């Protein structure tokens, strides 16, 4: 074959291919013309085939036509039934626009020559459902996300095939995963193949998503079916038997079901009975019963029964008849769905979900307990040091927490940037409360040493005075201590387990202070002197250590730590003059349970108190006051068996 012949053959093949391709291209105008009468009629009952014809035509302009149709921008020429877009023109005329080319068609014409297609809300919703298949493949990921949101809000069977056709072409991994999950959920709801539905249900075993439970729960819905006692039942069809008088089926509701289904007469209403008897009163008697004898209920019942026998009253059931009728029937919970295999698969998957939810609720409860324990540890760590070293019962410790929180609030008034203000507030609160603690120790505590009752009363009085001072300065209204944006929200592990970033930050802060105190007490000279004074103050003084100075620094340090704890607690709790009172009891319980003056004991005590409180609240969620009471009782019993706490400390604190 010569080069010229090959070239000619190639050109011929190319020409044929182009013509075939052009012939395969669908003209949307032909599709609209074929469905013209249905579209013009705009009936919700008959419009769906026309919508499907446009959506599945494969024409390039199909999406735009549907969008224009939905927005009432599609017009039909009355003379030949052709469809156009139109633009307003002068003199109340309109300019037809070709649907395919977008070019103007002839000069403007009178508006009366065209009819505007005005779909109602039902047709617009159907068009919107058809548009989803185009939006799922839109190049803009935002449009694809909006389409998925629309399907989740209001899914219908037509979305299933659209989703299946859009998964493989999705370039975004997150959107692809979301499409696959949504396709599985719609398969469960709308697929006509039971095997496909069962396979999709089994894929969600242990999945705790709310969307999964919302999809599966309708499959296992039940209704109450009334059967004669002793009737044979298909156990696979019935979920169980309800006993009249139980919480699930009260006796009154059970009998009402019998009445509604025609299995029993209505109950005898005393007021209605009296009215019927009064209506049939004649010559001082009712149905042969003297009026004077009707003061007894049994006579009224007998008179009413006589009226029923005479056809003068409608039959009613008394208490004994109600009991007999209830015992003569079975109230069975029957599954509404028709496919037992699908129901069984849904029940199995829901059982696995319930088990997963239970384990994750336990984990969530543990995280709540850990979070609360870290808060109590921060609140009690300063008290543990002062109580352990000095033996001082400082009832004003909660007010140092309050002072720290208010310090953070004042800093935020000066520095509006929340991140910077928190970073400044932490050391500032330490300085303020450290100074207040030193002043309190120098002016009050040192003069009441070895007099615990007087110290307790004095510090209690100081706590009241500090609360009143705070009220005079800041008022009684709660003040905001705002967390930075990066501490907003929560870490969500799944639909059951989540923990706020603020509580995570407090937990991290508690770990930092734990490491700080371990280093301070074990690796520094100050820590060595503190431990010496704690174990034997006289021997420490003979070795050149000034116990008075150590007491002052220790009390100031414990107060400063309480101030930092106040800033941390104020980020999620209300900042008021009484906020310290919310933590003083738990702080003392933490110190006493853990072991006075021992940092590890304080940590264990905080963990024990935090987990115990959350556990009791979980068992008794409706009464938090009772939960706190139970916790205090438990602590009292614990102290009876282990009076020196979890980790007993030797030395002056132990003797105290």
Average pLDDT rounded to a whole number, residues 369-394: 81
Closest CA to 407 of 562, 583, 585: 562
- Distance CA(285)–CA(562), nearest Å, equals 86
In the chain, the percentage of residues whose pLDDT exceeds 70 is 92
Closest CA to 155 of 198, 189, 195: 189
Is the separation of the CB atoms in 50 and 39 below 8 Å?
A: yes
Is the pLDDT at 617 greater than 50, yes or no? yes
- pLDDT value at residue 648: 63
DSSP state at residue 479? B
- pLDDT value at residue 199: 94
What tokens were used for 563?
A: 């101030």
Is the pLDDT at 1 greater than 70, yes or no? no
- Distance CA(25)–CA(627), nearest Å, equals 74
Is the separation of the CB atoms in 287 and 310 below 8 Å?
A: yes
- pLDDT value at residue 420: 92
Per the prediction, the chain carries an average pLDDT of 83
Average pLDDT rounded to a whole number, residues 533-560: 84
Is the separation of the CB atoms in 290 and 303 below 8 Å?
A: no
Q: Is 142 helix (H, G, I), strand (E, B) or coil?
A: helix
**Most confident range, picked from 177-186, 383-392, 600-609:** 177-186
- pLDDT value at residue 612: 85
What tokens were used for 47?
A: 């419009």
Closest CA to 82 of 22, 31, 24: 31
What are the tens digits of pLDDT across the range 628-652?
A: 777 778 878 887 777 777 776 554 4
E-only strand ranges, 454-541: 490-492, 498-500
Phi, psi of 628 (to 5 degrees): -65, -35
Is the pLDDT at 42 greater than 60, yes or no? yes
What are the tens digits of pLDDT across the range 193-238?
A: 999 999 999 999 988 888 899 999 999 888 888 888 877 666 677 8
Average pLDDT rounded to a whole number, residues 86-112: 87
Average pLDDT rounded to a whole number, residues 594-607: 80
Question: Taking the complete model, does pTM exceed 0.85, yes or no?
Answer: no
- pLDDT value at residue 427: 93
In the chain, the percentage of residues whose pLDDT exceeds 90 is 16
What are the tens digits of pLDDT across the range 456-515?
A: 889 889 999 999 999 999 988 888 888 888 888 888 888 788 888 888 888 898 898 888
Contacts of 305 (CB under 8 A, 6+ apart): none
Locus of tokens 């809300």 = 121
Answer with the residue of higher pLDDT: 440 or 627: 440
Average pLDDT rounded to a whole number, residues 56-69: 86
- pLDDT value at residue 400: 92
Q: Which residues pair with 500 in a beta bridge?
A: 490
Closest CA to 647 of 375, 382, 378, 388: 388
- Distance CA(536)–CA(282), nearest Å, equals 104
- pLDDT value at residue 546: 85
Is the pLDDT at 11 greater than 50, yes or no? no
pLDDT confidence tier of residue 355, bands split at 50, 70 and 90: very high
- Distance CA(231)–CA(187), nearest Å, equals 37
- Distance CA(185)–CA(537), nearest Å, equals 72
- pLDDT value at residue 28: 87
Annotate 81-96 with b (16+ C-beta within 10 A) or e (fewer).
ebbbbbeebeeebbbb
pLDDT confidence tier of residue 13, bands split at 50, 70 and 90: very low
Locus of tokens 């510090």 = 459
- pLDDT value at residue 598: 72
What are the tens digits of pLDDT across the range 425-443?
A: 999 999 999 999 999 989 9
Answer with the residue of higher pLDDT: 240 or 84: 84
- Distance CA(39)–CA(34), nearest Å, equals 10
Answer with the residue of higher pLDDT: 325 or 180: 180
pLDDT confidence tier of residue 20, bands split at 50, 70 and 90: very low
pLDDT confidence tier of residue 389, bands split at 50, 70 and 90: low
Is the pLDDT at 295 greater than 60, yes or no? yes
CA dist list (Å): 263 to 256, 259, 301, 515: 10, 6, 22, 75
- Distance CA(655)–CA(380), nearest Å, equals 21
What tokens were used for 473?
A: 């300065």
DSSP state at residue 480? -
What are the tens digits of pLDDT across the range 515-544?
A: 888 888 888 888 888 878 777 778 888 888
- Distance CA(243)–CA(87), nearest Å, equals 70
**Which residue intervals of 35-172 are DSSP H helices?**
36-41, 48-55, 62-70, 121-135, 141-153, 158-167
E-only strand ranges, 229-346: 238-242, 285-286, 289-290, 329-335
Closest CA to 459 of 391, 517, 553: 391
Is the pLDDT at 96 greater than 50, yes or no? yes
Average pLDDT rounded to a whole number, residues 334-356: 89
Average pLDDT rounded to a whole number, residues 601-606: 86
The domain defined by 358-655 carries CATH number 1.10.3470: yes
Average pLDDT rounded to a whole number, residues 573-583: 85
- pLDDT value at residue 23: 39
Hey, where are the domains in the chain?
3-124, 136-219, 223-257+323-335, 268-316, 358-655
pLDDT confidence tier of residue 412, bands split at 50, 70 and 90: very high
Contacts of 417 (CB under 8 A, 6+ apart): none
* Helix-then-strand count for the chain, H and E: 27, 12
Residue 207 CB neighbours (<10 A): 18
Please provide the size of the chain in residues. Answer: 656
- pLDDT value at residue 202: 93
Q: Torsion over CA of 476, 482, 488 and 489, rounded to 10 degrees?
A: 10
Distant-in-sequence contacts of 313-317, Cβ < 8 A, 24+ apart: 313/276, 313/280, 314/265, 314/266, 315/265, 316/265, 316/266, 316/267, 316/268, 316/269, 316/272, 316/273, 317/255, 317/264, 317/265, 317/266, 317/267, 317/268
Is the separation of the CB atoms in 382 and 396 below 8 Å?
A: no
- pLDDT value at residue 411: 94
- Distance CA(538)–CA(373), nearest Å, equals 36
């Amino acid at each position: 074959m010569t080069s010229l012949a090959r070239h000619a053959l190639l050109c011929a093949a190319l020409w044929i291919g182009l013509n075939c391709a052009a012939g395969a291209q669908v003209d949307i105008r032909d599709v609209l013309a074929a469905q013209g009468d249905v579209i013009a009629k705009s009936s919700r009952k008959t419009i769906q085939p026309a919508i499907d014809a446009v959506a599945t035509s494969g024409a390039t302009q199909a999406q735009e036509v549907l969008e224009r149709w939905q927005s009432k921008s599609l017009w039909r020429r009355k003379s030949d039934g052709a469809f156009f877009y139109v633009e307003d023109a002068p003199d109340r005329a309109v300019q037809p626009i070709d649907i395919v080319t977008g070019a103007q068609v002839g000069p403007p014409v009178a508006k009366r020559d065209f009819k505007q297609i005005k779909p109602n809300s039902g047709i617009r919703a159907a068009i919107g459902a058809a548009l989803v298949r185009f939006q799922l493949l839109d190049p803009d990921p935002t449009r694809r996300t909006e389409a998925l949101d629309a399907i989740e809000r209001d899914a219908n069977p037509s979305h299933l095939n659209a989703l299946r056709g859009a998964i493989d072409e999705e370039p975004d991994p997150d959107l692809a995963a979301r499409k696959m999950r949504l396709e599985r959920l719609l398969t469960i709801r709308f697929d006509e193949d039971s095997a496909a539905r069962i396979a999709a249900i089994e894929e969600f075993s242990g999945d705790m998503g709310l969307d999964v439970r919302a999809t599966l729960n309708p499959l296992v819905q039940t209704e109450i079916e009334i059967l004669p006692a002793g009737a044979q039942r298909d156990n696979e069809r019935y979920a169980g038997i309800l006993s009249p008088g139980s919480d699930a089926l009260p006796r009154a509701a059970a009998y009402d079901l019998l009445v509604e289904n025609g299995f029993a007469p209505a109950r005898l209403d005393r007021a209605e009975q009296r009215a019927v008897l009064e209506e049939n009163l004649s010559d001082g008697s009712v149905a042969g019963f003297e009026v004077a004898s009707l003061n007894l209920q049994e006579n009224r019942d007998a008179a009413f029964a006589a009226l029923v026998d005479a056809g003068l009253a409608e039959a009613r059931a008394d208490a004994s008849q109600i009991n007999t009728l209830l015992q003569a029937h079975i109230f069975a919970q029957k599954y509404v769905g028709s496919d037992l295999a699908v129901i069984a698969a849904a029940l199995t998957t829901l059982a696995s979900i319930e088990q997963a939810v239970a384990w994750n609720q336990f984990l969530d409860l543990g995280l709540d307990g850990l979070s609360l324990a870290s808060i109590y540890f921060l609140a009690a760590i300063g008290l543990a040091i002062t109580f352990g070293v000095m033996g001082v019962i400082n009832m004003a410790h909660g007010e140092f927490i309050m002072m720290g929180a208010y310090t953070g609030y004042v800093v935020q008034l000066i520095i509006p940037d929340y991140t910077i203000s928190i970073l400044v507030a932490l050391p500032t609160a330490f300085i303020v409360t450290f100074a207040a603690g030193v002043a309190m120790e120098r002016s009050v505590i040192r003069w009441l040493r070895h007099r615990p009752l007087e110290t307790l009363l004095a510090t209690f009085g100081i706590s009241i005075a500090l609360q009143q001072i705070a009220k005079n300065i800041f008022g009684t209204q709660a003040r905001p201590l705002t967390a930075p944006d990066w501490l907003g929200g929560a870490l969500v592990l799944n639909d059951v387990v989540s923990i706020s970033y603020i509580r995570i930050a407090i937990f991290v802060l508690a770990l930092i202070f734990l490491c700080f105190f371990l280093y301070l007490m074990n690796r520094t000279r100050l820590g060595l002197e503190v431990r010496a004074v704690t174990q034997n103050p006289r021997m420490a003084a003979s070795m050149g250590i000034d116990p008075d100075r150590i007491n002052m620094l220790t009390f100031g340090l414990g107060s400063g730590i309480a101030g930092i704890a106040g800033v941390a607690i104020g980020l999620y709790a209300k900042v008021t003059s009484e906020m310290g009172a919310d933590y003083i009891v738990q702080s003392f319980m933490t110190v006493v349970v853990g072991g006075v003056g021992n940092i590890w004991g304080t940590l264990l005590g905080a963990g024990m108190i935090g987990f115990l409180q959350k556990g009791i609240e979980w068992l008794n969620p409706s009464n938090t006051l009772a939960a706190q009471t139970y916790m205090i009782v438990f602590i009292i019993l614990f102290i009876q068996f282990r009076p020196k706490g979890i980790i007993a400390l030797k030395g002056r604190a132990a003797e105290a």
